[in-house]
Every structure is written in structure tokens, then in C-alpha cells.
Structure 1
């Protein structure tokens, strides 16, 4: 059983890292599932504190990734309409365009929201859209950092055996 759990831990951790980039796969959640599999092995040295900390990291990173496009839109000078457009763009992009949609959805949503708010300032709308795109880069980086950290823990816990 330990071998199956170890293999599952590595596979889930690796798929979780891929899921940080691919929009359909919940990357950080799968990485945490891999960490749980490693913790269930009879030889595991992972403490419950580590599991609780990574559970909190998983929840926070997942929430931040959802709200980051709207926040970055506002940070780059966008209006409430641009922030709402970016959030809608995340959801629409996920269902309509897959990987490309999840990247471009918030961009186009923020631009359209800004243009609906103020049709005269197309340059500002594009800047706000770039802020929303930047949020994808930052969100992906945060998810990758969390997932790689979990993979390191899985590796350190299961490799010596």
C-alpha cells in the first residue's frame, strides 16, 4: 500500500504543477492531495502542522488566484466596471477558450468593462487589460511556488525509503 501511496503522491504533485498552468486542472489542490498521500504512508515523517500549513496555503492561493484579476485591474487604474469585466472574463475564458481563454479572458473582460465605463479612453482600457494579464502571470507564479514546495515535501518524505 505504501508504494501505491508514494506513486500517487508523486503523480498528484506533478499533475498539480501542470495544473498551475493549465486552467482546467486544480493545480494547488492536486498538489495538496499528493502531500496527503505521502502523509498516509506508514513511514511518513510529515507532521500535522505541515499539513495544516499547506492546507491554509492551498486555500489562500486558490482564493487569491480567483480575485487577483479584479485587484490588478484596479491597481492599474481600472474602474469598478473594469474589475467586474476582468472577473467575468476569467469565468467566460475558462469555459469558452480553455488555456488561451483563461489568459485572454480577463484581458478582454477588463478592456471591455473599461470601454463600457469610458469609451473615450481606449489607451487606459488597454493598460487596465495589461494589468489583468499581469495578474495571470503573478497568479501562476504563486500557484507554481506553492505546488513546487509541496512536491519538495513529498520528495523529501518519500525518497529516502
Structure 2
């Protein structure tokens, strides 16, 4: 049963990493699902209260890193709240409208359009906001990926050691 538990957990972790670049997949839920399914199939014995407190803190950190990276990226490049919201909406809609490339073009186009249409910024400033959204997206992917790897490493430590 332990091998099946590891296979299921690893499959959940892989799906979580796919969610880094395809934001419709809730990465953090798949990481936690990997822990829970492993525990259900094998045993929760190794995953004590300290393990769950650490993981809950990392889940909170994941949500914070995602939001903060997007806000900082757009703001750092002179974007407004409208640009931030446009970027977020573009990130969610882009992959459906423009398969594959929409993950990058969606936030960029969303930020640029929001800046042009809502705040009436000039084209140069709107494009800077769009670039900021891309910087924020890549920063978010890197930060979330590192946090997820750390969560998995802690899981392996508690279960194996």
C-alpha cells in the first residue's frame, strides 16, 4: 500500500506543478490532497500536529506570495489598481481565449487594456504596466514553485525520517 500511496501523492504533486503555469488548477489544493491521500492510503501517523501547522503556514504563504508578486510587479512598473485587476482577469481568461500563449498574453493584454480604458493612461505607460504583470507572473511562479518544493521536502522528511 505504501507504493500506491507514494504514486498517488506524486501524481498530485505533478498536477500541482502544472498549476503553476496553468492557474485554473489550484496548486495548493493538489499539494494538500497529496498529503491527505497518502495519509488515507498509508497512514497519518507520521504527519503529526507539527507537520500540519507547518503546512498550513506554507499554504498561507503561498496565497500571500501569489498576490504580492502580482501587485508588486504591476506597481513597480507604474501600473494602477486597474492594471492589477486587468492582469488578474487576463490571467484567468487568457488560457481559454488563446490556448497555450494565453498564460502569458492574457495578463499582459489585461493590464494594458485596463490601463488604457479605465485609467486612460497613455500607450507607453500601459505597456509598462503589462510588462510589470509579466514580471509579477514569473516572480509568482518562481516563489510558489520554491514554496511547493519546500512543502514536499517537509512531507518527505516527516514521512521517511
User: TM-score when scaled to structure 1?
Assistant: 0.79
Structure 2 CA distance for partners of 1:104 and 1:67, relative to 1, 3 Å: farther
1:109 is displaced (CA, Å) by 1.0
Greater RCO (CA < 8 Å, at least 6 residues apart): 1
Q: Does 2:101 correspond to 1:100?
A: yes
2:3 — aligned with what? 3
Larger deviation, residues 126-135 vs 97-106: 97-106
RMSD: 2.6
Q: Per the alignment, in what secondary structure is the counterpart of residue 20 of structure 1?
A: helix
Query: Alpha carbons of 1:139 and 1:98: their partners in 2 closer, same or farther (altered >3 Å)?
Result: farther
Q: 1:16-70: per-residue Cα shift (whole Å, max 9, x none)?
A: 2232223332222211211233444338523222223213322442354256434
> In the alignment, what sits opposite 2:26?
26
1:132-151 counterparts in 2 under 5 A?
132-151=133-152
Structure 1 segment 52-131 matched on structure 2, within 5 A: 52-62=53-63, 64-65=65-66, 68-116=69-117, 117-118=119-120, 121-131=122-132
Count of residue pairs the alignment pairs up: 159
The answer for unaligned runs of 5 or more in structure 1 is none
Q: Greater shift after overlay, 125-134 or 14-23?
A: 14-23
Give the ranges of 4+ consecutive aligned residues of structure 1 lying more than 6 Å apart after TM superposition.
none
Length-normalised TM-score, structure 2: 0.79
The structure-2 alpha-carbon separation of the partners of 1:63 and 1:90, relative to structure 1 and needing over 3 Å to count, comes to farther
Residues 83, 115 of structure 2: 8 Å contact kept: yes
What secondary structure does 2:128 align onto?
Answer: helix
Q: Please say if residues 13 and 150 of structure 1, whose CA atoms lie closer than 8 Å, have aligned partners that are also in contact.
A: no
Q: Indicate conservation of the 8 Å contact 2:9/2:37, yes or no.
A: yes
Asked if the contact 1:20–1:28 (Cα under 8 Å) also holds between the matched residues in 2, the reply is no
